[in-house]
Structures are given as structure tokens and as C-alpha cells.
Amino acid sequence: MGDKVLRIPTFCRIQRGQRGREKTLAQQAQLDEADEVSRQMELHNRMAAERAQHRHKKHSNLCLEVLDQIEDLATKVGEYRLLTGKLIPVKMMREWKELLLLGLPLYDPVPGDSEPGPLSAPLDPVERQKEELLNNQDYQEYTVSERGHPPCIGSFDMSNWIRISGD
């Protein structure tokens, strides 16, 4: 009987020790999990901030491009009116408007010193696109005028363009 009394406390101590280790391991696992969650949250927040910054930069660049195009159109209209003292022809305004809406430059590129002559060099892709667009527009205008129909304006509100051009 004396042996049984001695074994029970030893067994209890072993169980308490195991429970203590299990509790410590569980606490450590919780701490590790909390650290992992905080690292994941930090990574998520950093990635979200980078995406927001990228969207902001993209939006700002787009706004600057649009403002530059509007400024070019206003300058082009002002120069024409200043040089000629006349109203802008509808065809010319239509061409400028089309270039503006497609995001193509209104002004010809300034030739640099290193640029070869115009006869020896092929057209720049932007210039080729502008020329093709204006040729197509002229052809459409010609075919419409042959049939006796007014030129198609489309869904764009021309009242602003007429007000700018003075027509």
C-alpha cells in the first residue's frame, strides 16, 4: 500500500509537467500564429499602399496628358486666329478635334540636329497614324458630300467646338 501512495504523486507530477509543456507549446503556437498574422497584415497593407500609389500616379499622368492636349488645342486655335484674324474652317477644326480625341499630337515634332532629312527617313509611326486618320476623314467627307448628305458628326457635342472655332 505504501508503494501506491508514492506512485500517485509521481504520476500527478508527470501529468502536471506534460500539461504545463502542452500549455506552453499552445501559448507558443498562438504567439507564432499572431506573429504570422501581423506579418501577413503588414504585407497586405504595404501591397495595398503600393497599388494605391500606382493608381494615383497613373491617374495623375492621364490628367496631365489630357491637360497638355487641351492646352495644345487652345494654343493652336489662338495661333490660327492671331495669324489669320479669321475664323477656323470647320474642316480644320474637325481634324484637330479628331487628333485630340485620339490622343495624337496636334503639333508636328520639332526636328532635331540628329534627325535625317524628310525624304530619306520613313514616317514616324505617330505621323503615319495621323496622316492615315486625316486621309480617311477626308475620304469620308468626300463620299458624304458626293451623296449630298451633311457630314456625320457622331455622338460628340459639337456646340463647344463651334463656339471655340467661332462658327
pLDDT digits (tens, 9 = 90+) for 65-119: 889 989 999 999 999 999 998 899 988 898 888 888 888 888 876 665 444 444 4
Burial label, 70 (beta-carbon count in 10 A; 0-12, 13-18, 19+): exposed
The confidence score (pLDDT) of residue 3 equals 53
CB 98 within 8 A of CB 135: no
DSSP state, residue 86:
S
Residue 87 CA to residue 94 CA, distance in Å, equals 13
Higher pLDDT: 140 or 160? It is 140
Any idea what the Cα angle at residue 83 is, between residues 78 and 87, rounded to 5°? 65
pLDDT of 155 over the 90 cut: no
Mean of pLDDT values over 22-50: 94
Tell me the CA distances in angstroms from 130 to 16, 103, 134, 142, 160, one per residue in order: 85, 10, 6, 18, 23
The confidence score (pLDDT) of residue 10 equals 56
CB 124 within 8 A of CB 95: no
Q: What is the pTM of this model?
A: 0.50
Report pLDDT digits (tens) over 1-15.
445 544 555 555 666
Tell me the CA distances in angstroms from 13 to 4, 5, 7, one per residue in order: 14, 13, 10
Report pLDDT digits (tens) over 118-139.
444 555 777 777 788 877 887 7
The confidence score (pLDDT) of residue 167 equals 46
Q: Which three cell numbers stand for residue 50?
A: 503600393
